[in-house]
């Protein structure tokens, strides 16, 4: 049984109350009904489910918590959660429900957010007039995490969009076309 299955077994209020009554010493259905304040029919159903989960035993008609089973569950190592990609953590922090809640100050993190926005807002090798770019970016800014003009500027600065004569484009690989060679800009 996994921790999730254990939690599921105790997620129902009636089952929790029945389990608590058994933990506190109720040894038969009548005692559980009295202590838990749950109708007898629900007690029987809850006891069956708790027994199926291995949490309660009913040998010789005497109810008891299966303490050994609980110890075993506590000792069973849980499978490791898959490592979350750093990009996912950044996006979860700065983008919620498809809306930008803030722009990261760190350039690397900001780049991750901007690539996400560019890939979901613009098709590669498609021309967009400035108005269409603004219209595509406004929904990202609904929570006030930034404004569409700043977002557009960052996308151009990071070469995720190119701008030429008021027309914007995103290249096939998610980066702007090779209209500007950064090395040539630095050297010349």
Closest residue by Cα to residue 154 from 94, 96, 73:
94
pLDDT at 181 over 60: no
pLDDT tens for 64-86 read 888 887 888 777 776 666 777 88
Q: How many whole angstroms separate alpha carbon 32 and alpha carbon 169?
A: 70
Q: How many whole angstroms separate alpha carbon 94 and alpha carbon 181?
A: 30
Q: Are 90 and 109 in contact (CB under 8 A)?
A: yes
Topology annotation, domain 3-75: Arc Repressor Mutant, subunit A (1.10.10)
Please give the structure tokens belonging to residue 78. 């849980």
Q: What is the CATH number of domain 86-179?
A: 1.10.10
pLDDT class of 138 with cuts at 50, 70, 90? very high
**C-alpha angle 88/1/83, rounded to 5°?**
15
Q: What percent of the chain has pLDDT over 90?
A: 47
Please give the structure tokens belonging to residue 127. 């021309």
Name the segment(s) of the chain with CATH classification 1.10.10.10: 3-75
């Amino acid at each position: 049984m996994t921790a999730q299955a254990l939690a599921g077994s105790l997620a129902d209020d009636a089952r929790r109350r029945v389990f608590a009554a058994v933990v506190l010493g109720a040894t038969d259905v009548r005692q559980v009904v009295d202590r838990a304040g749950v109708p007898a029919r629900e007690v029987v159903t809850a006891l069956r489910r708790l027994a199926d989960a291995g949490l309660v035993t009913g040998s010789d008609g005497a109810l008891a918590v299966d303490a050994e089973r609980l110890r075993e569950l506590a000792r069973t190592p849980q499978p490791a959660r898959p490592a979350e990609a750093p990009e996912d953590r950044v996006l979860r922090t700065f983008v919620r429900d498809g809306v930008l809640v803030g722009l990261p100050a760190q350039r690397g993190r900001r780049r991750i957010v901007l690539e996400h926005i560019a890939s979901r807002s613009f098709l590669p090798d498609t021309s967009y007039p400035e108005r269409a770019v603004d219209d595509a970016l406004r929904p990202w800014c609904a929570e006030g995490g930034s404004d569409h003009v700043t977002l557009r500027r960052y996308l151009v600065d990071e070469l995720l969009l190119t701008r030429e004569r008021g027309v914007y484009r995103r290249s096939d690989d998610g980066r702007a076309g090779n209209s500007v060679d950064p090395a040539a800009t630095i050297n010349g």
